[in-house]
Amino acid sequence: MKRMIAKVAGVSAAAMTMALVPLAGTSYAAGCSGSGCDNLGPVSQACDKDAVTKVSVSDGISKAELRWSPTCQAGWVRVNDPYGPDNWWDHYGYIEKWLGAGTDFQRSLSVKIPDPGSDWSNMLGGSSYYYRVCLKDSGTGKINCSNFW
């Protein structure tokens, strides 16, 4: 009788353990949502898993993309300079969060564009806001922004 109880307990423990272990590739849990994602990293919060590019802007050298995670309801700017060392001054990409398209600015986050390479900013979140991404050339002061999304 003790052997039978031990077997049943062992099988039950194994079944419970398997129920708690997720299958690989089935889903992921985002670490934040909406404005709760403000100033958090998209990779560390697993928001990069379903991200799509909504708008982008280029100055002929660098490119800035507005990356958006539907699961996290948050966006960030991803920047890229594929050509290598081309200027002695810095380039920056940044994302802006607005309450309306061009009215009531909320906040922005920026990232220095590697020369060459890619990088991204932290996130700004909330589906009821408008977003755009911009490139700033600190050598000339020129700013180039995308349309609002």
Cβ atoms of 134 and 143 within 8 Å: the answer is yes
Mean pLDDT of 46-53: 97
Contact yes or no for 81/91 (Cβ under 8 A): yes
Domains, the chain, in order of start with CATH, read: 31-145 (2.60.40)
**Contacts of residue 91, Cβ cutoff 8 Å, sequence gap at least 6:** 59, 61, 62, 79, 81, 112, 113, 115, 135, 136, 137, 138
pLDDT(26) > 50: no
Provide the edge-to-edge strand list for the sheet that holds 130-137. 103-112, 91-100, 130-137, 143-145
Task: Give the residue among 80, 83, 78 at the shortest CA–CA distance from 94.
Answer: 78
Alpha helices in the chain (DSSP H): 2-20
Contact 42, 51 (CB under 8 A): yes
Q: What's the pLDDT score for residue 79?
A: 95
Please state, in angstroms and rounded to a whole number, the distance separating the CA atoms of residues 68 and 76: 7
Higher pLDDT, 66 or 102: 66
At 84, the pLDDT band (50, 70, 90 cuts) reads low
pLDDT at residue 22 is higher than 50: no
**Residue carrying the six token digits 């081309």:** 86
| pTM tops 0.75 | yes
- Of residues 34 and 141, more confidence is placed in 34
